[in-house]
Amino acid sequence: MTALKQLEQDLRAGRLSRRDFLKAAALFGLSAAAPAVLFGTPAYAASEPKKGGHLKIGTGHGSTTDSLDPATYENSATQSLGKAIHGYLTTLDADGKLQPEIAESWEASDGAKKWTLKLRQGIEFHNGQKLTVKDVIASLKHHAGADSKSGAKIIVDAFTDIQGDGDYTLVLTMKEGNADIPYQLGDTHLAILPANADGKLDLSGVGCGYYKLKSFDPGVKSVVEKFPNHWDAGTPHVDSAEIITIADVAARVNALTTGEIDAADRLDVKTLPLLARNKAIRIIETSGNAHYSMPMRCNTDPYKNNDIRLALKYAVDREAMLKTVLGGHGYIGNDHPIGRANRFLNKEMPQRAYDPDKAKSLLKKAGAEGLKVQLSTSDAAFAGAVDAAVLYKEHASKAGIDVEIIREPSDGYWANVWMKKPFCFCYWGGRPTEDWSFSTAYADGAEWNDTVWKNDKFNKLLVEARSELDDTKRAAMYGEMQTLVSDDGGTIIPLFNNYLYAITDKVATPEKIGSDWDLDGQRAIMRWWKV
Three-state SS sequence of 269-311: HHHHHHHHCCCCEEEEEECCCCEEEEEECCCCCCCCCHHHHHH
Give the list of residues 6+ apart from residue 388 with CB closer than 8 angstroms, or none. 292, 321, 325, 377, 425, 494
Residue 67, in any domain of the structure: no
Which amino acid, residue 300? T
Beta strands of 318-473 (E only): which ranges?
A: 330-332, 372-377, 402-407, 426-428
**Which pLDDT score, from 0 to 100, does residue 37 have?**
35
Residue 43, in any domain of the structure: no
Residue 525, in any domain of the structure: no
Domain coverage including residue 24? 3-38
Pair 420, 484 in one domain: yes
In the chain, how many domains are there? 4
Q: Which of 310, 283, 300, 351 is nearest to 499 (CA)?
A: 283
Q: Which residues lie across from 222 on neighbouring strands?
A: 216, 243
Q: Which residues lie across from 403 on neighbouring strands?
A: 373
**Which pLDDT score, from 0 to 100, does residue 270 have?**
82
Pair 29, 129 in one domain: no
Residue 82, in any domain of the structure: no
Pair 217, 340 in one domain: no
Pair 443, 328 in one domain: yes
Q: What is the pLDDT of residues 71-104, one digit of tens each?
A: 999 899 999 999 999 999 999 999 889 999 999 9
**Which pLDDT score, from 0 to 100, does residue 20 have?**
52
Q: Give the separation between CA 458 and CA 449, rounded to whole angstroms.
A: 13
157 has a pLDDT exceeding 70: yes
User: Per residue in 2-35, is it b (16+ CB within 10 Å) or e — as a string?
Assistant: eebeebbbbbbbbebeeeebbebbeeeebeeebb
Helices (H), 315-407: 318-325, 356-366, 385-397
Pair 331, 480 in one domain: yes
Provide the 8-state DSSP code for 266: S
**3 or 193, which is more confident?**
193
**218 or 111, which is more confident?**
218
Pair 307, 437 in one domain: yes
**Which pLDDT score, from 0 to 100, does residue 13 have?**
41
Pair 224, 176 in one domain: no
Pair 218, 149 in one domain: no
**Which CATH number does the domain housing residue 264 bear?**
3.40.190.10
Residue 69, in any domain of the structure: no
Task: Tell me the CA end-to-end span of the chain in Å, nearest whole number.
Answer: 25
**Which CATH number does the domain housing residue 91 bear?**
3.90.76.10
Q: Which of 139, 168, 184 is the last residue in one of the domains?
A: 184
Residue 65, in any domain of the structure: no
Pair 136, 270 in one domain: no
Residue 194, in any domain of the structure: no
Q: Which residues lie across from 153 on neighbouring strands?
A: none
Pair 305, 271 in one domain: no
Residue 17, in any domain of the structure: yes
**17 or 31, which is more confident?**
17
Pair 273, 310 in one domain: no
Q: Could you tell me the pLDDT band of residue 47, with boundaries at 50, 70 and 90?
A: low
Tell me the mean pLDDT in the region 195-222: 96
Pair 344, 485 in one domain: yes
**Which CATH number does the domain housing residue 465 bear?**
3.10.105.10
